[in-house]
Structure 1
Amino acid sequence: MQTDQFIPNNKVSKKTILAIIGTGVMSFCGILLETAMNVTFPTLMHVFGASILAVQWITSGYLLVASLVMTLSSYMHKRFKLKQIFAWAVILFFIGLFLCVSATNFPVLLIGRLISGVATGMTTPLLFGIINHDIPLQKLGRYMAIGAIIVSMASVGPTYGGIILYSLGWRAIFWIVLPIALIASVLGLLNIEQTRPVEKPRLDLMGFVWLAGVFILISLAFNEAAVHGWGSLNFWILLLLGLVAGGLYVWHARHFAFPLINITIFKYHRFVLSFVAYALCQLINIGMSFLLPNYGQLVLGVNSLLAGLLLLPGSLLRLFLMPFGGVVLDKRGAALPIITGISATLISGILFFSFQSILSIPLMTIFYALFSGGFSLTFSNLLTDGMKQLPGKLKGDGNAAFNAIQQYSGSIGASLMAAFISISEINAHGLSTVSATARGSQNDFLVLIGLELVMLVLQIVNFRKARKQIGAN
């Protein structure tokens, strides 16, 4: 049964814990490789003769595919056994991995990453689906934090990628993950249990087409802006078409009996406020993990090892603060960790922007540690607080929506950061590449500050609504 209430026997079985670890580590492996590739971009640009706009599709394309697959997660979890879903995800993960390690040209590498995106799009919702379905409410905050920790451990990806790239080359980034993924595969296959009945819902194919249209068209719009600028007619046409596709999905979902994602979830105002803030949080997170290693290499001129290491202290800090944030939510409510966390990320963004003229690896390391601390208190708690606003019958749709937007907003984050840098380089007007990249990065920091302010306002409104609801009761 869905954990919508406190239940006396709140014990979690050993098999459930091992299933969470197995699915979580598989998801971790996928996201680790995604973030590790961010630090390889200058190397891949040289090896394959590709531009930063082309190479960034290794991240944004991967996340785009993962987000599209995640829109199907609610349907898949009803239609198929969870162990079957996990088995297919494992197969696709290893196919993608072997394509990447054997790639002799950029298209093969990109195809491998896209296939890996499908695998992650299956495993991540599976992880949080098991947590939301099989963990009692009184322990949900800490287990959601544990799930987020497993996934967020992939934030060490740039550090991992930088060390391996510097010492063994970029292909070794994939090989080293292989044994970890094998162990996770065995854990998941042996311990995932079917605790809910398998149904035979209709596949909302038309709904998937409209959602795919939204995701793909908006992604292409940002790519067009990166090539021709924000004033490009094609950018605005693609963006408008993406929004039209979104409107068509809403109309379709209101008239279809079994929509891919039930838009009734968006009638719960506090869910919406958490959902939008969560999307912005992940956009900013992926944007930072894309921007900082490339800034270190392309602007400061450091090697991949140092560029990766600058993120390490912040990444390790997440491991300690995320479970703490979950416990605080369980004991004190969501407002304290979330507002504190967003405030810390905002201060970090202001510091990056204000000190850009004198940025160094030590300064960037300190500022990113502050950002990571704030992210740790915010990210999983936005998800937990948002999901608590939904009734049990809508949990699957909420889980699918949260997971899909997590990946898609990350894709937009990478594309947005690359777009400002590319536009700055196109309009360099005599500036060196280093100076143009630095100017584009300054615009990136300014945009991130703006998004962090929006997050803060949304959550202030959210918790005012929560206090009014408590007062009304």
Structure 2
Amino acid sequence: MQSQQLTSNKQVSSHTILAILGTGLLSFCGILLETAMNVTFPTLMHTFGVSISAVQWLTSGYLLVASLVMTLASYMHKQFKLKLLFIWAVDLFFVGLFLCIYAINFPMLLIGRLIGGIATGMSTPLLFGIINYDIPVQKLGRYMAMGAIIVSMASVGPTYGGLVLFHLGWRAIFWIVLPLAVFAAILGIFNIRQTRPIHKTQLDLKGFLWLAGVFVLISLAFNEAAVHGWASLFFWILLLLGFASGWLYANHALHLSTALINIHIFKYHRFVLSFVAYALCQLINIGMSFLLPNYGQLVVGANSLWAGLLLLPGSLLRLFLMPFGGVVLDKKGAAMPILTGISTTLLSGILFLSFQSYLTIPLMTLFYALFSAGFSLTFSNLLTDGMKQLPGDLKGDGNAAFNAIQQYAGSIGASLMATFISISQLHANGLTTTRATARGSMHDFVVLIVMALLMLGLQIFNFRLAKQKTNDSKVH
């Protein structure tokens, strides 16, 4: 069975559109809850008596589990029917949801969030798998943008969380999502169609364990740094073990035809450049959504309502700009929207750092709207441009890799922001908690700027390679 992408004039069926909507809404619900929890951290720290380095696991742990499940996406999509995978994701989502609603202590709440991470780790690759496989290539940019909108609109989570927390309490955050999740389940179950062949394949369990080692060890390393500082010997040991596990997976996958993620996708240089920039983009995005609501409450002194509302205008702006970015890519190519977007993201980071001593909720709202404009032009277009560099038989592996790194980069983003704040509080040297948090946040803004600069450099090089390749093809 051939991908429908090969038929350039193929009309997109209503079932495909509704399947995209159903899988997208389930992912939206999961990521909405993940980002909504960021604004609840000060409340949960007080309620359950835990530190910021512990409570941030509600975000980083969720994203860590989701990213691990996403490494299995290519295998699961070959082995099982898509509708069955969606049903499993729905079941797990509701189990995790009710555990969180009725949590009587922090471990129970964390377990609920981890189970929710499994559900999102299954539903998000389904969303982009359907788009990559069933949408004609001429319409891919706008549909990838549509998928990215559904997922990235969960960035309204801190606003949603702040409003609900302020008026109804944190448990209501989970209750209110329930009807939308039921609607998503109905859409997906009745509209997902099996348009690709199923063939039994062997699970690369050894490879999964090596990948799990990478993700878990590096996450634990940052948690160790948050508790004992960058000089902790255990931090460096965990970090080195994580990198060693990555090397072992790469060596293992090179000699295995049924690897979880085919390592040969990284032979395509422009794919690699888009992949790394995409990871940095998501790291910055989740880092910002973690940092700003907490900065608004712990440093500026705003309540949870205003700390959540500061992200709303920027989040709504994404709704309009992401489709525009996808259309520009389809018509003009990837360079214009991506380079413009990264430059705007960089500018927003510089403004946050430069005006840190004068930040107010309105000023943070303005700077975050600028950041969201840059993110909207960059995020889905990096994914689209990267996937275009792969041949058809590697697209499933590319999709799994992109989805896994999206979640894991978010996990590292939350952990990294929390680590700098925690270390600053740990070595306060007489500073108040507010001043120590502000100092740690300043370090966070510097790190985010450096990442944006790196992302810009990678994409400038990427498009030079593309231009050189075009010129070489004209010569020959």
TM-score, L = length of structure 1: 0.99
Instruction: Give the aligned partner of residue 37 of structure 1.
Output: 37
Which consecutive segments of 4 or more residues in structure 1 shift more than 6 A? none
2:275 maps to 275
SS in 2 for 1:299: helix
User: What letter matches 1:76 in structure 2?
Assistant: M
- Specify the alignment match of 1:302 in structure 2: 302
Given that 1:201 and 1:258 are in contact with CA atoms closer than 8 Å, whether structure 2 keeps it comes out as: yes
Shift of 1:4: 5.5
SS in 2 for 1:86: helix
Distance in 1, matches of 2:444 and 2:80, equals: 42
Quick one: distance in 1 between partners of 2:235 and 2:5? Answer: 44
Q: How far apart are residue 231 of structure 1 and its match?
A: 1.3
The residue that corresponds to 2:366 in the other structure is 366
Alignment of 1:155-194 (within 5 A): 155-194=155-194
The equivalent of 2:245 in structure 1 is: 245
Match in the other structure for 1:391: 391
In 2, Cα distance between the equivalents of 1:2 and 1:217?
38
Runs (5+) with no aligned partner, structure 1 = none
Query: For 1:120-135, what aligned pairs fall within 5 Å after superposition?
Result: 120-135=120-135
**Counterparts in 2 of 1:429-448, with a 5 A limit?**
429-448=429-448
Contact 1:145 1:325 in 2 (8 A): yes
The separation in 1 between residues aligned to 2:359 and 2:20, in whole angstroms, is: 40
Could you tell me how far 1:255 is from its partner in structure 2?
Answer: 1.4
Q: How does 1:234-383 map to 2 (within 5 A)?
A: 234-383=234-383
Task: Say if 2:278 and 2:379, in contact at 8 Å, map to a contact too.
Answer: yes
CA-to-aligned-CA distance 1:6-52 (integer Å, 9 cap, x gap) = x3423100000000000000000000000000000000001001100
Q: What residue in structure 1 maps to residue 53 of structure 2? A: 53
Whichever residue aligns with residue 127 of structure 1, its letter is L
Matched letter for residue 2 of structure 1: S
Q: Secondary structure at the match of 1:117?
A: helix
Tell me by how many angstroms 1:2 deviates: 2.8
CA contact (8 A) 1:86 1:122 kept: yes
Q: Name the CA distance, whole Å, in 1 between partners of 2:10 and 2:427.
A: 60
Whichever residue aligns with residue 321 of structure 2, its letter is L
Does residue 458 of structure 2 align to residue 458 of structure 1? Answer: yes
Using the TM superposition, give the Cα deviation of residue 225 of structure 1 relative to its aligned residue in structure 2, in angstroms. 0.8
Report how far residue 232 of structure 1 moved. 1.1
What is the alpha-carbon root mean square deviation over aligned residues? 0.6
* Alignment-mate amino acid for residue 30 of structure 2: G
Q: Note the C-alpha offset of 1:229.
A: 1.1
| 1:119 counterpart residue number | 119
The number of aligned residues is 472
**Cross-structure match for 2:198:** 198
Comparing 18-27 and 251-260, the one that deviates more: 251-260
Offset from partner CA, 1:311-361 (integer Å, 9 cap, x none)? 000000000000000000000000000000000000000000000000000
Deviation digits for residues 361-405 of structure 1, max 9, x if unmatched? 011000000000000000000000000000000000000000000
> Amino acid of the residue matched to residue 412 of structure 1?
I
CA deviation after TM superposition for structure 1 residue 204, in Å: 0.2
- Please state whether the residue corresponding to 2:300 is helix, strand or coil: coil
Deviations 1:90-137 (A, max 9, x none): 000000000000001000000000000000000000000000000000
Q: Does 8-17 or 391-400 show the bigger shift?
A: 8-17
TM-score by length of 2: 0.99
Matched residue type, 2:140: L
**Contact 2:217–2:238, Cα closer than 8 Å, also in 1:** yes
- Structure 1 distance, partners of 2:216, 2:267, is 26
Contact 1:4 1:392 in 2 (8 A): no
Aligned letter for 1:332? Answer: K
Q: Percent identity?
A: 77
Please tell me the residue identity of whatever aligns with 2:437: T
1:28 is matched by which residue type in structure 2? F
Which moves more between the two structures, 8-17 or 141-150? 8-17
- TM-superposed deviation, 1:60: 0.1
- CA distance, structure 1, for counterparts of residue 85 and residue 5 of structure 2: 25
CA distance in 2, matches of 1:10, 1:465: 31
Which residue number in structure 2 is paired with residue 21 of structure 1?
Answer: 21
